[in-house]
A and B are shown apart, each in its own frame.
Chain A
């Protein structure tokens, strides 16, 4: 009898442990999924505020420099290279990594091309002597 009661105690202890782990896992899941949906809201907040910043900054650009503006915005939109680098980062050669490397190359064309051509344009704008 005492053996059985011991075993029962053991079992109930284990059950308790499993229940604890389960609730731990569940709360983890809630945390991570909650964390992501939090980022969506947070990201949208940032996006909308940045649109306002962009609106005011771009309207203050002088029309004479609208071509260089396109050059710069083209170059900085290649900030997508951040994603490309993360994709190309892992050691193991997967298709995912090669996609990342191609994206790194494409973004690099843009970054260098965009900034260099903008600099060329801007260096030509001179004031009357």
Chain B
């Protein structure tokens, strides 16, 4: 590799770092994205200028087809479907890593790592690790995509000896890698790929739908490590740096999500949390009656309120209620109320999911606040309007040591003068825990589809 191309790759690496740096504030974020595009363009042109690259026509066609598919999906996708889109994209990075590694195995001279059958040991190790991570990322992301899209049940799939099987498979892959590094046998290469595909599926099936934010972040991290692995095979620092950036980004996001649920990463990975099973196991038979209100009551009370905090959750995304919600907020603001939004770190199905949906509905980002920023203000708030969220408001997390969600940071909506709960029914939330809040004196349940309820309140406000 010439010095010039090394320097160009360095420029791309710096641009990628700056692109992430841009995301520290919404006002610089778009420039950040542009720097990322610039970095990628430089990386691609530099590689095309490599003396070993000739087949521009075929490459151009492949690139064009991929680009067209990617662009048309990205332009059309609904913002509520973002989590599954991201999961699907991760799977492609994983698969690409597998293909690159396979290609390096069959034609090592294109990468300057010897010839077929006599690849140096170091490169073999890097290649097989990159392949394994890429393959796990591929099938893992497909399953995550299926769960988010609803192709695969969102309930955790657990069976006896699951973790033992995973352990066996993991050890098996290591053994295969060792054998492959000695023999360089092509059957072994594909066995590594196949075993990694299987373990990718097995790792994700036991994990419930609402734990997906952690999983999507984790797969994001894996796709980075896969890129870094290939970077070692190519002796290319750009891939290593970018892989490390993406890898640490995903890891930090998973950490933030786990902290938002007060669960350890291992606990999430072992799976089996939530879903119908947990809900019935908890077996809450509650005879207490929650007070039920209607949209007209809610409209009347909110119209006469000074301070309102709206707490959106995944239910808002499912019902596509963000636009109606914003309209409701606008009417309340016009009536003189101070309306703000409170976002819990794990609301939605991916990190920052709610923020994007509210932004899509034209809610200014300075009205949307994080848990730490707004939690104290609930005690001075007249109305807390909870729409499609449940577990993240449950005071049992603070008081009931036996609760499955004990210790999870929650939004203190209970401190507000009046709480409205928009829900489809009395069912408990993902954690399978009954929400104490439903039975409080200052709580009024608004049953129905989130969007429909918002529209009814809007009608009430307009009258």
Residue numbers of A with Cβ under 8 A of B are 33, 36-37, 39-40, 43, 46-48, 50-51, 53-55, 57-91, 94-97, 99-129
Contact = CB atoms under 8 A, between A and B. Distances in A.
A48 B70 CA distance: 32
Given A67-B351, A100-B100, A72 B43 contact: no
Nearest to B360: A124
A89 B54 contact: yes
A98 B107 CA distance: 11
Contact of B224 (A71, A77, A83, A119): A77
Interface stretch (B164-172, B243-251, B272-280, B281-289): B243-251
29 contacts: A43-B231, A46-B240, A50-B240, A62-B24, A63-B355, A64-B26, A65-B352, A70-B351, A74-B90, A75-B40, A76-B242, A80-B96, A82-B44, A83-B236, A83-B239, A86-B52, A86-B111, A97-B107, A107-B96, A110-B66, A112-B69, A113-B85, A117-B82, A118-B33, A124-B79, A124-B356, A125-B359, A127-B364, A127-B366
Given A66-B351, A72-B20, A80-B230, A126 B365 contact: yes
A66 B7 CA distance: 31
Interface residues of B, number: 118
B63 A65 contact: no
A103 B253 contact: no
A interface, over-half SS:
helix
Contacts of A76: 16, 19, 36, 39-40, 242, 245-246
B66 A104 contact: yes
Contact of A113 (B89, B111, B242): B89
B65 A105 contact: yes
Given A62-B23, A69-B23, 8 more contacts: A39-B232, A85-B48, A85-B50, A90-B110, A105-B62, A117-B74, A120-B74, A127-B366
B42 to A, nearest CB: 11
Contacts of B238: 79, 82
A109 B94 CA distance: 13
Interface stretch (B203-211, B215-223, B410-418): B215-223
B93 interface: yes
Contacts of A95: 106
Interface string B33-64: 10011011001100110101111001100111
B66 A109 contact: yes
Contact of A125 (B29, B231, B249, B343): B29
B20 A73 contact: yes
B288 to A, nearest CB: 36
Contacts of A106: 66, 92-93, 95-96, 99
A87 to B, nearest CB: 4
Contacts of A65: 23, 26, 29, 352, 355
Contact of B220 (A70, A81, A89): A70
B249 A73 contact: yes
Given A85-B48, A103-B96, A110-B70, A69 B242 contact: no
B359 A69 contact: no
B70 A79 contact: no
B70 A64 contact: no
Contacts of A103: 95-97, 99-100, 103
Nearest to A61: B23
Given A50-B244, A51-B248, A88-B55, A63 B345 contact: yes
Contact of B59 (A48, A69, A85): A85
A86 B108 CA distance: 10
A83 B104 contact: yes
